Amino acid sequence: MTVATIFIDNAPREVNPKQNLLHVCLSLGYDLPYFCWHPALGSVGACRQCAVKQFRNEQDATGKIVMACMTPAAEGTRISIADPEVVAFRAGVIQGLMQNHPHDCPVCDEGGECHLQDMTVMTGHRQRVYSFGKRTFRNQYLGPLVNHEMNRCIQCQRCVRFYREYAGGHDLNAFHLRDSIFYGRHEDGVLESEFSGNLVEICPTGVFTDATLKHHYSRKWDLQMAPSICVHCGLGCNITAGERYGTLRRVVNRYNHEVNGYFLCDRGRFGYEFVESSLRIRHPLVDGKPATRSEALERFGAVLRKGAVIGVGSPRASLESNFALRALAGPDHFFAGVPDEESRLISAMVRILRDGPARSPSLDEVEHSDAVFVLGEDLTNVAPIMALRLRQSVRQAPMRLAAGLHIPEWLDHAVRETVQDAKGPLFIASPYATKLDDIATATYHASPDDLARLGFAIAHAIDATAPEVIALSPELETMAAKIAAALRGAQHPLVVAGASCRNRGVIEAAGQIAWALCKVGSPASLSFTMPECNSFGLALMEAPPLSEALRTVRSEPVSTLIVLENDLFRRAPANEVTSLLRGVQHLIVLDHLGNPTTDAAELVLPAGTFAESDGTLVNNEGRAQRFFQVLNPSTDVQESWRWLHEVSVAAGSKSMERWEDLDDLTATIAKEIAAFGALPKVAPPRSAVGKIAREPSRYSGRTAMLANISVHEPRPPQDPDSSLAFSMESGPGPVPSSLIPFFWAPGWNSVQAVNKFQSEIGGALRGGDPGVRLIEPSRESVWQYFSAIPPAFKSRSGEWLLIPVFHIFGSEELSRHAQGISQLLPRPYLALNPAEASLVGAKAGGRIKILIEDSQFELEIMLRADLPRGVAGLPAGLPPFDGIQLPLFCKLASVGTEFSARGVL
Amino acid sequence: MEKPLTGNFRADGEAVSLSEYERSGGYQGLRKALLLTPAEVTELVKKSNLRGRGGAGFATGMKWSFVPMGKDAPHPKYLVANADEMEPGTFKDRALMERDPHQLIEGMIVAAYAIEADIGYIFLRGEYERSYECLARALAEAQASNYLGHNILGSGYRFEIHLHNSAGRYICGEETALLNALEGKRAHPRTKPPFPQVSGLWGKPTIVQNVETLCNVHHIVRQGVDWFRGLSKTADGGTKLYGVSGKVKRPGLWELPMGTPMREILEDHAGGMRDGLRFRGVLPGGASTDFLVEDHLDTPMDYDSVQKAGSRLGTGTMVVLDDQTCPVGMVWNLEHFFAQESCGWCTPCWSGLAWTEKILWAMEQGTGSTRDLETLKFQTKFLAPGNTFCAFAPGAVEPLQSALKYFAEDFRRHVDEHRCPWRR
């Protein structure tokens, strides 16, 4: 990076000349107030808060006021932040902003973490001079997730800029003008964007606040917080979770430049409420009845002594918990708790990333790709933040147009006005239309096999030595050539795929394209989505799939099945699960929410959710990231790995005695499984760092909150596993980036305090972003092109290929139990192409009968013209159909028809 | 005296038809321009010292020279006629469009040719219904006679004009807000740079030019630079449409040599103040210019002279204040308009004007305070050029800042007497 020297209040400072003055001043640690600017949104010069005085040269004593956010940090620039005139101007801007702002901080949810409060204090505006009435608005109902309080608005424009320009939403807008712009919807209603929750953080004051927090409100300063990882998809977004009075209160974004940056999706932000759901298991259950801890441990020990054990792990449990079960049951008797097909697909993805030349990119690298091909994925619903990143990636290529006119990237509206609707190449091939289609160069909707064929054809078009696809239609041939050309012509091409289609061909085709690109010298990236938060980590353990567990139960004398944080009825059809459960005498389940599997268990142990646990998850990039306990562990709830350790020690097992705490455990895993060699480096060991307070220094009620029980202040609970303390007391020294419990700095109470933790604004956290990549592409070129290209899909007469249709709210197991999100779940339906609906006499909104293998259901019909012929859609993960392993062929008939053995059609 | 812009106006007030326009030399400027190269046309306009008549007075030829030219230039390029005449007290473009619409069209085609524009827009104030009708008819005539469209007059040049009537709002007259409005976006101004000449409408090179400015262009080509500069009393070329409103004997609009002294316009053409009234001040160029007073009456009405006197030529349409009208009330009226029309984009503008308006109203109601007077002074500095996103707010406080200077006593009396002294 080239460096420019600028002078700030006469002090020479080295800065990034590609940036604006506000960016570099904040990067240097100056407190320069701002509102409309945001590191991810760039500069528009609306609020006028970041004014500085600029001087022409050393002799110029007058200078002129300029907006720091709108002025390049060019070599030799001379500015003053402290000049009295500009200090007075900045106070004047706050005075103007506060003109209509209500004095309701004490009752405002934003109070205590309000950027407007911080900036007001920073500018020194104290006395209200304005004595006239304030403008008022009617607030809107925006759904169960985001609350609206327009009187507080300061018209910084950030909400609409994020919602519309950045996130591609349509239903939030600016209405009216002058000092009474209304930011809202054209009418009351649930915000449509999957990223609406970011308004809570984007809004510098209390217009948009977290509606779920409102139900169990606490000030930020009263929250006990810890760094955590989102468990609601495979991307591993970093979150900060907060607790008060023993319950989890909320989740906010935890900046990680490489992963989620500044934003979370609504599932990730609001899914946390499952922790306090009524299904929560808080005490051990023995034979369905509440039991004490010692009774539970006693029963566990007794069962263990009876005979052989097998363990079923989980892609939503930590590496540590999975490993603990593996250690207890033995590597030969530990099974991945995922369906066979999914297990094979994920292994295939891991193998492609490990054995081939294409690298899995971080989400930041995804955003900076300049040509993208998405194969088979509905990203907005499966990996939402990747979709948000791709929305930015299509701006990469056109940005060069603006650069040609010397318009800097950060001058946001100037860039957008120049670029207009020009978008870089993004091609989407998926089984049905996805929300990202609106920014796609071209789309192709077809059955999974046909998608795979297009993928293989693209690979062949890139590198002729890749196998050819036989009998491809001329249209697809043309499309493949077009996509191949776009990818080849890019500086940073990216291929995205995943297991959503449950189709091996799709995954291999995606790998094939990336490999072909690498072979012709292009630095291609290959990003696979993962179904769950630790699918990747579990796959690295290379445990056999669920059917192997059943085979083992049938072939060996197994007396006990231990299921770790897994509802087997979501993993396999009920009859298969039932036959597995019948094959053992004892079923022990460790989980946190009640489900059909816990219902069937002899012993249920209350497992900690992410909020009560420490552990490591591996995201879709292959990045291992640690999450830490937020809640004080004074109940029976604890990490699954700790339960398993206690049990095995009590039962006299020798295998686990070597580890007592998290650091011991991660060291053991690193030693036993080569893939996890770097695990201890994911976060510094407890011994290496001094105490880090989970509670802010203004945490209130410490001496009062238990005074009704005892006036003696109790000793804070101890955390045996990390340097994070359940207290307000911190040791000296900097906090490592992976252990930052919350972003706060003097004068910066809002989430924008993250400025003070970054090496450069919008760049990496100081000391590097958290997480360690566990896989890198192979250096040896041992890979070979896949040759198993599926034949073209042929629709069957009277039968439909049933595929999963994903929903951000509903398809994921845990978040659907969050109170807010539960109000937004779709009703079960069957999606069908309208052209085919008449074949079975179906009408939109009517009902239809569906025969899957031997079971019959009735479902509401949804007509979707984007569904390929011969393909029908079923919402993924939605009970009671969550155990059905899609895709499979089904038969359809109008309600009232009886299915005969051979079908009715 | 030659009156190229208004000389053709019909006595009955009807619009000049195409045949009438052609009989008096219409479209000859275009025919001549098409024989020149675009660069030669721009050069003529540069040499003519034509300055923008929308208010800022930027040199027209200079502005055109920033447009990327040649075969590598981005296309389509646009030429936009800013016909969103909403400045209070201003009614000059309306006269040009209602009475001689072909003049604007010819000026546009010549200007478009000079910058090799492909598409033109007339962004017309929504309320100008008669202008719309006149322009629509004239455009159809011009199209039918091949002054517009493919291969204009056999030259190979192609240009089309779309007539767009605005949905309203004063800020649409700001050239970049105008472009946003044309694109169907919220009408707030754009970041400059990049200037529209480089990245304008739909991101393409665009020239936005006031109606009166465009009406001069073909005259320059047809009759020459020397002729044009000879029309003026100053270094700035051409004539100027001057208007007068307020309590004068004959409010109206006149085409006079650029640089005609203010006194001559007010006294000879507008007939001086009505009987029984005395002159107190004048906004020389519309509502967003500083008051000038008796001492300034001999100022030549051109860009530099008016600026030297402490105001701006603006649109050249004067609003006169007499001694029987409350200056505070008049300023309230203006600031009410500006507060209403603030687009709400930048804080000083939307907050400062709303506050200013409320204070002036309070003063008129007799509840203004000394602290309010200080706030008014503060706002005039707070809304200075550079502090706000565009020139709207600095213009909006120009009448206020000069009123506070020239009519300080009147403001004082409102505060001290707790009433408006003019109200009986």
Q: How far is A175 from chain B (nearest CA, A)?
A: 9
Angle between helices B38-47 and B211-223 (to 10 degrees): 100
Structural domains in chain A (count): 3
Q: What's the whole-number average pLDDT of chain A? A: 95
Distance between terminal CA atoms of chain A?
A: 68
User: Is the domain of B97 the same as that of B83?
Assistant: yes
Is the CB of A417 less than 8 angstroms away from the CB of B339?
Answer: no
Query: pLDDT at position A1, please?
Result: 63
In a domain, A763, yes or no: no
Q: How far is B100 from chain A (nearest CA, A)?
A: 35
Angle between helices A504-519 and A340-355 (to 10 degrees): 0
Q: What's the whole-number average pLDDT of chain B? A: 97
Mutate to test the interface with A, among B66, B186, B191 (most CBs of A within 10 A): B191
Q: pLDDT, tens digit, for every residue of A28-81?
A: 999 999 999 999 999 999 999 999 999 999 999 999 999 999 999 999 999 999
Minimum mean pLDDT range among A896-905, B75-84, B278-287, B411-420:
A896-905
Looking at B304, B322, B340, the residue that finishes a domain is: B322
Domain that includes residue B114, residue range: 18-230
Look up residue B39 and give its two tokens.
């660069």
Query: pLDDT at position A657, please?
Result: 67
The DSSP 8-state label assigned to residue B190 in this structure reads P
A to B CB pairs, distance under 8 Å: 110
Quick one: A252 exposed, middle or buried, by C-beta within 10 A (0-12, 13-18, 19+)? buried
Distance CA A316, CA A325 (A): 14
Q: pLDDT, tens digit, for every residue of A389-411?
A: 999 999 999 999 999 999 999 99
Q: Which residues of A touch B203 (CB under 8 A)?
A: 401, 417-420, 422
In a domain, A795, yes or no: no
CB contact set of A364 (below 8 Å; sequence gap of 6+) = A257, A258, A259, A261, A389
In a domain, B5, yes or no: no
Mutate to test the interface with B, among A71, A177, A413 (most CBs of B within 10 A): A177
CATH number for the domain including A498?
3.40.228.10
Q: Which of B186, B190, B378 sits opposite A417 (nearest CB)?
A: B190
Cis link prior to A880 (omega < 30° from 0)?
yes
Q: Which residues of A touch B198 (CB under 8 A)?
A: 405
Q: Which of B199, B348, B353 sits opposite A48 (nearest CB)?
A: B348
Q: What's the sign of the alpha-carbon dihedral A640, A643, A644, A645?
A: positive
Quote the ipTM score.
0.96
In a domain, A523, yes or no: yes
| Nearest chain B residue (CA) to A66 | B386
Does residue A411 sit at the B interface (CB-CB below 8 Å)?
A: yes
Is the CB of A46 less than 8 angstroms away from the CB of B350?
Answer: no
User: Is the domain of B246 the same as that of B299?
Assistant: yes
Mutate to test the interface with B, among A65, A69, A131, A395 (most CBs of B within 10 A): A131
Over residues A662-685, the mean pLDDT reads 96
pLDDT at A838 over 90: no
Strand (E) positions, A431-492? 442-445
In a domain, B84, yes or no: yes
Looking at A508, A530, A552, the residue that finishes a domain is: A530
Is the CB of B344 less than 8 angstroms away from the CB of A411?
Answer: no
pLDDT at A903 over 60: no
Q: Which residues of B touch A89 (CB under 8 A)?
A: 382, 387
pLDDT at B381 over 50: yes
In a domain, A378, yes or no: yes
In a domain, B79, yes or no: yes
Strand partners, B51: B59
In a domain, B212, yes or no: yes
In a domain, B8, yes or no: no
Is the CB of B203 less than 8 angstroms away from the CB of A51?
Answer: no
| Nearest chain A residue (CA) to B198 | A405
- DSSP, collapsed to helix, strand or coil, labels residue A667 as helix
Is the CB of A407 less than 8 angstroms away from the CB of B169?
Answer: no
Does residue A157 sit at the B interface (CB-CB below 8 Å)?
A: yes
Is the CB of B347 less than 8 angstroms away from the CB of A411?
Answer: no
CB distance A119 to A749 below 8 Å: no
Structural domains in chain B (count): 3
| Nearest chain A residue (CA) to B376 | A130
Q: pLDDT, tens digit, for every residue of A354-382?
A: 999 999 999 999 999 999 999 999 999 99
CATH number for the domain including B70?
3.40.50.11540
Helices (H), A590-659: 596-599, 640-650
Does residue A123 sit at the B interface (CB-CB below 8 Å)?
A: no
| Nearest chain B residue (CA) to A412 | B191
Assign A844 a pLDDT band (cuts: 50, 70, 90): confident
Distance CA B396, CA B393 (A): 5
Q: How far is B385 from chain A (nearest CA, A)?
A: 9
Is pLDDT larger for residue A712 or for residue A185? A185
In a domain, B260, yes or no: yes
CB distance B274 to B249 below 8 Å: yes
3-state DSSP of A844-862: CCCEEEEEECCEEEEEEEE
- Chain B positions contacting chain A at CB under 8 Å are 169, 179, 186, 190-191, 193-194, 198-199, 202-203, 339-348, 350-355, 358, 362, 371, 375, 378, 382, 386-389
Q: Which of B191, B193, B371 sits opposite A129 (nearest CB)?
A: B371
CB distance A259 to A224 below 8 Å: no
Does residue A739 sit at the B interface (CB-CB below 8 Å)?
A: no
In a domain, A602, yes or no: no
Does residue A281 sit at the B interface (CB-CB below 8 Å)?
A: no
Percent of chain B at pLDDT exceeding 90: 98
User: Is the domain of B213 the same as that of B247?
Assistant: no
Q: pLDDT, tens digit, for every residue of A765-818?
A: 999 999 999 999 987 777 999 999 999 999 898 899 999 999 999 999 999 999
Q: Which residues of B touch A49 (CB under 8 A)?
A: 347
Q: Which amino acid is at A809?
A: F
Is the CB of B347 less than 8 angstroms away from the CB of A96?
Answer: yes
In a domain, A873, yes or no: yes
Strand partners, A285: A290, A604
User: Is the domain of B255 the same as that of B384?
Assistant: no
Distance CA A255, CA A724 (A): 18
Over residues A234-256, the mean pLDDT reads 97
Is the CB of A48 less than 8 angstroms away from the CB of B343?
Answer: no
Q: How far is B64 from chain A (nearest CA, A)?
A: 17
User: Is the domain of B160 the same as that of B35?
Assistant: yes
**A:85-114 residues touching chain B, CB 8 A cutoff:** 89, 92-93, 95-97, 99-100
Mutate to test the interface with A, among B206, B208, B346 (most CBs of A within 10 A): B346
Looking at B280, B305, B322, the residue that finishes a domain is: B322
User: Is the domain of B37 the same as that of B175?
Assistant: yes
Looking at A75, A98, A121, the residue that finishes a domain is: A98
Does residue A176 sit at the B interface (CB-CB below 8 Å)?
A: yes
Q: Is A280 left (phi over 0), alpha (psi -120 to 50) or beta?
A: beta
In a domain, B141, yes or no: yes
In a domain, A490, yes or no: yes
| Nearest chain A residue (CA) to B180 | A417
CATH number for the domain including B254?
3.10.20.600
Look up residue A687 and give its two tokens.
């011994």
Query: pLDDT at position A515, please?
Result: 97
CATH number for the domain including B348?
1.20.1440.230
CATH number for the domain including A851?
2.40.40.20
Percent of chain B at pLDDT exceeding 70: 100
User: Is the domain of B91 the same as that of B155?
Assistant: yes
pLDDT at A744 over 60: yes
Over residues B241-249, the mean pLDDT reads 98
Q: How far is B344 from chain A (nearest CA, A)?
A: 4
Q: How far is B287 from chain A (nearest CA, A)?
A: 18
User: Is the domain of B104 the same as that of B197?
Assistant: yes
Instruction: Give Cα B207 to chain centroid, integer Å.
Output: 15
Q: pLDDT, tens digit, for every residue of A314-357?
A: 999 999 999 999 999 999 999 999 999 999 999 999 999 999 99
User: Is the domain of B120 the same as that of B134?
Assistant: yes
Does residue A44 sit at the B interface (CB-CB below 8 Å)?
A: yes
Domain that includes residue A517, residue range: 355-413+423-530
Looking at B177, B205, B230, the residue that finishes a domain is: B230
pLDDT at A902 over 80: no
> Between β-strands A208-210 and A146-148, what pairing exists: parallel, antiparallel or unpaired?
antiparallel
Does residue A170 sit at the B interface (CB-CB below 8 Å)?
A: no
Q: Is A10 left (phi over 0), alpha (psi -120 to 50) or beta?
A: left
Is the CB of B190 less than 8 angstroms away from the CB of A414?
Answer: yes
| Nearest chain B residue (CA) to A154 | B347
Assign A899 a pLDDT band (cuts: 50, 70, 90): low
How far from B217 is each of B105, B107, B317, CA to CA, in Å?
A: 10, 5, 21
CATH number for the domain including A9?
3.10.20.740
User: Is the domain of B32 the same as that of B147?
Assistant: yes
pLDDT at A656 over 70: no
With DSSP H G I counted as helix, E B as strand and the rest as coil, what are the percentages for chain A, rounded to 5?
35, 20, 50
User: Is the domain of B161 the same as that of B26?
Assistant: yes
In a domain, A829, yes or no: yes
In a domain, B7, yes or no: no
Distance CA A600, CA A579 (A): 12
Over residues B279-301, the mean pLDDT reads 97
pLDDT at A901 over 50: no
User: Is the domain of B402 the same as that of B384?
Assistant: yes
Q: How far is A134 from chain B (nearest CA, A)?
A: 10
Is the CB of A89 less than 8 angstroms away from the CB of B382?
Answer: yes
Looking at A81, A98, A115, the residue that finishes a domain is: A98
CB contact set of B51 (below 8 Å; sequence gap of 6+) = B57, B58, B59, B60, B213, B236, B237, B303
